[in-house]
C-alpha cells in the first residue's frame, strides 16, 4: 500500500511539473502558419520540431512569419496559395532584428565572398577544380545564389550557408550560418564549435587554438555553468566560468552591447603576408580589453598585448617583409611567370605566410602556445631557411644576400663564442650536467 501511494505521488508530481511546459511549448500560430505545419509536420518533421523548441515558437513567430515573401524578392514562388521565399535572407530577419542585420552588414563576415579572385579561390576553382571550390571554399565564404524558378536553385550555388553568401534579393550572408536553421538558437551561436565550422585547419586554426588554450579548457570543464540560453548573456553577470569565441568577439559586457560585427574588437589583421593594424585600432583594442578585464587584471592585459605585438613584429620584420621583398625581385627580374602556383617557390612562399605564418600569429593572439611555436614559428623558420631561401637563390643567385646579412639572420653564419658559451651554460643548468 505504501508503495502504491508513493507511485501515485510521483505520477502526480510529474504531471504537475510537465503540464506548464506542455502549455508553453504549444505556440499560437497564424492561419497560414497552421497550413504550413499541417503538411511539414509529416514531410519535414525535423525542421518543425526544431522550430517548436525555438525562441521563435515561444514568441509565436511561425513558418509564415519568416517565409512570407518580401516585395521585390526575385526568388519567391506560389506555394499552395501562399507567396513564400525558400531562403530567409537577412532582409527577412531585419523585419524584427534590424540592428543586428545592420551590424552584420558592416562586418568582414558579410564580405566573405570577396575571396573570389584571390589566390585561395584560384586554388579551388582552377588548380584543384570547380567542385572543390563549390563544396569547400564557398560553403564557408558563400556563393552567389542563382534562382532558376519555381522554388528551385542552381545546384552549383545552393545549398549554401556561407557567411558572406550573396542572396537573390541582394542581401549578404545568412543568419542561419551561426544560429542554425529553424532552431535559430543563441546558445548554438555561443558554442565555440559553431565558429569551428569555418575557423579551423592549417591556415586559420582558431578552433584548434581555442581548444588548446586555457579558455577552451575552462569552457569544456564548466560548460554546464555557462548559462548559454540566457537572453542577455553578459559576461560577469550571467556567466563567468569561461569565455567562448562569442564572448570575446561579439557578446555584451557591462560596458558595451552585443555586436554582430565579429571584427569590431580586432586591432590587427593577421590574414595577409604582412600584418598591419586596422583603422581605429586603438578603439577596437580598448573594446577587446574591456572584455578581458572581466577576468584579468590591468597589468596582465597590458603585458599580454606587449607579448602579442612582439610576436607580430617578429613575424613581420624577420620573415614576412624579407620574403616578400625577395619574391618581388624575382617577379621584377622575370624569374617567375605571372601565373600563380606554376613554380615551386610560389607554393613554398604561399604556405610560409598563408599557413605557417598565420598559425604563429593567431596562436599568440588566442593564447595557444603550441600553435605559436611548433605549428607556427618552427614551421616558418624551417620553410624559410631550408626551402624558400635555397629556391630563391637557385632562380636568381645573390637575390637573398642582403636579407641573410641582416642581424636577424646572422646566426646562419655561425654562432659567436659568446653565444656558444651561453648555450652551453644554459644546458648545463637545465640538465644538471
- pLDDT at position 431: 81
Question: Are 375 and 410 spatial neighbours (Cβ–Cβ below 8 Å)?
Answer: no
- pLDDT at position 107: 96
Residue 96's pLDDT band (cuts 50, 70, 90): very high
Chain centroid offset of residue 403 CA: 35
pLDDT at 49 over 70: yes
Question: Are 145 and 87 spatial neighbours (Cβ–Cβ below 8 Å)?
Answer: yes
User: Tens of pLDDT along 198-217?
Assistant: 999 999 999 999 999 999 99
**What residues have CB less than 8 Å from 320, skipping those under 6 apart?**
273, 274, 275, 353, 357
pLDDT at 16 over 70: no
Residue 22's pLDDT band (cuts 50, 70, 90): very low
User: Tens of pLDDT along 25-34?
Assistant: 578 999 999 9
Mean pLDDT of the chain: 93
User: Tens of pLDDT along 373-414?
Assistant: 999 999 999 999 999 999 999 999 999 999 999 999 999 998
In whole angstroms, give the CA distance from residue 40 to residue 46: 9
In whole angstroms, give the CA distance from residue 378 to residue 372: 8
pLDDT at 8 over 60: no
In whole angstroms, give the CA distance from residue 244 to residue 206: 11
- pLDDT at position 230: 96
In whole angstroms, give the CA distance from residue 219 to residue 284: 25
- pLDDT at position 25: 56
- Report the range of poorest mean pLDDT among 73-82, 109-118, 140-149, 187-196: 109-118
In whole angstroms, give the CA distance from residue 171 to residue 326: 42
User: Tens of pLDDT along 226-269?
Assistant: 999 999 999 999 999 999 999 999 999 999 999 999 999 999 99
Q: What is the pTM of this model?
A: 0.90
In whole angstroms, give the CA distance from residue 123 to residue 207: 23
Residue 5's pLDDT band (cuts 50, 70, 90): very low
- pLDDT at position 396: 98
Angle between the 281-292 and 298-314 helix axes, to the nearest 10 degrees?
Answer: 130
CATH topology (fold) of 208-399: Hydroxylamine Oxidoreductase; Chain A, domain 2 (1.20.850)
Question: Average pLDDT in the 345-357 region?
Answer: 98
User: Tens of pLDDT along 57-67?
Assistant: 999 999 999 99
pLDDT at 305 over 70: yes
Question: Average pLDDT in the 83-96 region?
Answer: 97
The length of the chain, given as a count of residues:
433
pLDDT at 7 over 70: no
Residue 433's pLDDT band (cuts 50, 70, 90): low
Question: Are 308 and 300 spatial neighbours (Cβ–Cβ below 8 Å)?
Answer: no
With a pLDDT cut of 70, the percent of the chain lying above it is 94
- Report the range of poorest mean pLDDT among 5-9, 168-172, 326-330, 376-380: 5-9
Residue spans per domain, the chain = 73-173, 208-399
- pLDDT at position 339: 95
Amino acid at each position: 500500500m505504501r508503495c502504491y501511494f508513493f507511485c501515485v505521488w510521483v505520477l502526480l508530481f510529474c504531471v504537475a511539473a510537465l503540464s506548464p511546459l506542455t502549455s508553453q511549448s504549444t505556440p499560437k500560430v497564424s492561419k497560414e502558419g497552421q497550413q504550413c505545419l499541417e503538411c511539414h509536420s509529416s514531410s519535414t518533421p525535423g525542421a518543425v520540431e526544431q522550430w517548436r523548441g525555438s525562441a521563435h515558437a515561444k514568441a509565436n513567430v511561425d513558418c509564415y512569419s519568416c517565409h512570407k515573401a518580401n516585395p521585390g524578392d526575385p526568388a519567391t514562388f506560389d506555394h499552395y496559395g501562399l507567396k513564400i521565399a525558400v531562403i530567409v535572407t537577412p532582409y527577412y530577419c531585419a523585419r524584427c532584428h534590424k540592428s543586428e542585420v545592420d551590424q552584420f552588414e558592416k562586418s568582414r563576415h558579410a564580405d566573405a565572398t570577396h575571396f573570389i579572385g584571390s589566390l585561395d579561390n584560384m586554388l579551388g576553382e582552377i588548380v584543384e577544380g570547380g567542385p572543390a571550390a563549390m563544396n569547400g571554399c564557398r560553403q564557408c565564404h558563400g556563393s552567389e545564389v542563382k534562382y532558376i524558378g519555381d522554388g528551385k536553385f542552381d545546384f552549383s550555388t545552393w545549398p549554401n550557408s556561407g557567411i558572406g553568401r550573396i542572396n537573390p534579393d541582394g542581401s549578404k550572408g545568412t543568419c542561419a550560418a551561426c544560429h542554425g536553421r529553424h532552431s535559430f538558437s543563441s546558445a548554438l551561436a555561443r558554442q565555440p564549435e559553431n565558429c569551428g565550422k569555418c575557423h579551423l585547419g592549417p591556415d586559420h586554426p582558431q578552433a584548434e587554438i581555442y581548444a588548446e588554450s586555457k579558455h577552451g579548457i575552462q569552457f569544456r570543464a564548466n560548460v554546464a555553468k555557462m548559462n548559454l540560453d540566457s537572453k542577455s548573456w553578459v559576461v560577469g553577470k550571467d556567466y563567468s566560468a569561461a569565455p567562448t569565441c562569442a564572448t570575446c568577439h561579439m557578446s555584451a559586457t557591462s560596458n558595451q552591447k552585443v555586436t554582430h560585427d565579429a571584427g569590431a574588437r580586432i586591432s590587427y589583421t593577421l590574414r595577409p603576408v604582412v600584418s598591419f593594424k586596422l583603422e581605429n585600432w586603438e578603439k577596437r583594442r580598448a573594446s577587446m580589453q574591456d572584455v578581458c578585464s572581466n577576468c584579468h587584471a590591468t597589468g596582465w592585459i597590458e603585458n599580454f598585448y606587449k607579448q602579442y605585438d612582439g610576436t607580430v613584429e617578429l613575424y613581420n620584420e624577420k620573415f614576412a617583409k624579407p620574403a616578400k621583398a625577395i619574391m618581388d625581385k624575382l617577379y621584377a627580374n622575370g624569374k617567375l611567370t605571372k601565373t600563380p602556383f606554376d613554380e615551386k617557390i610560389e607554393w613554398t612562399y604561399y604556405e610560409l605566410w598563408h599557413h605557417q605564418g598565420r598559425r604563429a600569429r593567431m596562436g599568440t593572439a588566442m593564447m595557444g602556445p603550441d600553435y605559436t611555436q611548433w605549428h607556427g614559428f618552427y614551421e616558418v623558420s624551417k620553410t624559410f631557411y631550408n626551402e624558400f631561401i635555397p629556391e630563391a637563390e637557385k632562380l636568381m643567385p645573390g637575390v637573398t644576400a642582403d636579407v641573410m646579412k641582416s642581424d636577424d639572420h646572422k646566426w646562419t653564419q655561425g654562432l659567436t663564442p659568446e653565444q656558444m658559451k651561453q648555450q652551453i651554460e644554459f644546458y648545463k643548468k637545465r640538465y644538471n650536467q
